[in-house]
Amino acid sequence: MTVDLNEAQKEVVLTKDGPILVVAGAGTGKTNTLVHKLAHLVKTGTNPESILLLTFTRRAAKEMLGRASGILDQRMMSVKGGTFHSFCQLFLRRYGNSVSILPNFSILDEEDTIGFVGMARDQVVTPNTKLRFPKKETLAEMFSSSFNLQISLEKFIQKEYPMFIGQTKEIQEIKNKFNELKRKHNALDFDDLLDVTRSILMSDEVIREKMASIYQYILVDEYQDTNRIQAHIACLLASKHQNILVVGDDAQCIYGFRGANVRNMLDFPKIFPKTKIIQLTENYRSVQPILDVANSVLAGSKENYKKNLFSIKTKSLEKPFLVKLENLEEEAEWISSLFLELYENGNSFSEMAALFRAGYSSHLLEMQLTAKRIPYRKYGGKRFLDLAHVKDTIAYLKVIENPNDILSWNRILLLEDHIGKKYANLIYKQLETNSFDWETDPQFFLGIPESTKLSFLKLLECLEICRFGQKTPSQILEQILAHYLPILTSNYDDAEKRKPDLEALVYLAKKETNVTEYLSQLVLNPVEGKEIGSDEDSENEFVTLSTIHSAKGLEWKFVVNMQIVEGVLPNHRIKTVEELEEERRLFYVAITRAKNSLYLTNPLTNEKNRYTSVSRFISDLPNEGELFTKLSPIQNQNITKEGNEREKDGGTDPFQSIQNYFLN
């Protein structure tokens, strides 16, 4: 059964009892190892129903158990596999009555949760409230994120929504009423499933021991992505027998904003002192020169499991390319030309990807791919022109260019204070009747309230400035944004995160001389893949554009990592060493998506025409010159050794050790 496994993988499979931490580097076959581990447990006599496999998607559990069945037999389908939330749901149906939760409780999905939060908000925020208050969607995000990050609501507001610090007391009151509503209606949201399960396992020893007798082996996949609550639940389930195997890569912990905590992996041996640490370092994905860069980037980390990925692949041994370009436009042109060249040389578009730190980084590339008729799909956010705030801004341009555009008029009128659907329709009819000349008819504002009139005149002032004089599209956009940015701040609680998209609109306009041409270029739709060649199936072929976060777990033959500059990667918003280390891990993930060829692009100026410098993750490498082919158009803590050599203390109560770690 283990004939196709390397020595480290075999060690994982053959080690049966006790706590095991598998540090599986990128591309080292951790899923295959876990599948063989499951099959081996059952083959050697373990009751499949006594095995609990916790994964992050139901699909992942189903796929692993299906593969294990192929190795062994259908007994594998009796293994209990699923997500943390699905496990907690079943657990609470059975044991929730111990904390007065009826077994027929409802589970609130995202829409339901927002609805309940809205009901609670209406009890606190009255119609005559004069201060801006966060929307129900934002409040739901505040409550969930503060829980998953395990920080107080007040601290979360201070960090992520400082504009609402003055409303902290009211927001807390809304949260309290939200919880009351859930209790009243016997409903739990996704966070409650975790929270209540953990609470029962902590407080009820009888139930905890019952679970230990049912599930004698706990296996957790992607352990680096667990938040503190999920890790606590897994450890509590194993507190009696300590037969817990967790698999993950501390170097791929990149979801800190969702609550994923790298310390869950780093501190696992502290929770279970008898932990056996096994490293998987033979990489089956990438060629060695790519792994050399990944290893060097990780070597700069302040704290990790020291590992050195290696590969026996010899097909392509070219070093990764570090490409210096003049500006963002040249970067987009270079990447799109590279993809076209690779395609002309016989490579499939589906083997190519461009990865980026933030969704807005790909806007120029999207335009270039469209112009070159290269099919693409974007992951990790909406397409640029589908973003609501981008649509808002373009609507002003459309009205300036075509005053008859009723949809664009309706959109920008409804953005103004004191203009609802009724008066938006009335104003448009008046405009249409007067051939869009609002100055010639003294009766124009007849029947329109004074507050509505003032809002409309403010809008007209902006449009007048934009319409007259010899102005370029970028100058017109700057005038529009002077009017629109206060509206953006008022309408969107995450306005700061949206502003870079609007800066990109201005940047895209810099080379255009008239609004008509600019709008035409913006609204051109990507051409379907079937127009590239004669193959009927070529429509399924496309270049992948993706944020690095969305690319985790995927791979391509040719990968371009865009805008590897200070301020982008690492992001300019980072404030702590922990945040910097997560950015480093993000870069590591981006590097290790490539199988054969890796390109890192370094534009010398950004969208504001300010000079940039290459990312410190590259410039700080002591062997940078040896790692890259350049094109121009703290001492690491060896935790592995420490964990393996740590004194084995069998006298400590495992449950108490777990509680001391998670609660102190």
> Which parts are annotated binding residues for ATP?
24-31
For 653, list phi and psi in degrees, rounded to 5: -65, 120
Dihedral in degrees, nearest 10, Cα atoms 25, 31, 36, 41: 90
List the beta bridge partners of residue 187: 106
Type of residue at 451: S
Of all helices (H) and strands (E), which one includes residue 464? helix 450-467
Where is the binding site, in residues? 24-31
Nearest 10 degrees: Cα torsion 327, 332, 335, 339: -160
* Euclidean distance between CA atoms 231 and 228, whole angstroms: 5
How many Cα atoms sit within 13 Å of 294 on the Cβ side? Answer: 31
HEC string of 28-94 equals: CCHHHHHHHHHHHHHHCCCCHHHEEEEECCHHHHHHHHHHHHHHCCHHHHHCEEEEHHHHHHHHHHH
The CA distance from 446 to 462, in Å, is: 22
Q: Measuring CA to CA, which residue among 580, 606, 589 is closest to residue 548?
A: 589
CA 493 to chain centre: 19
430 by DSSP, 3-state: which?
helix
The span from the CA of 236 to the CA of 272, in Å, is 11
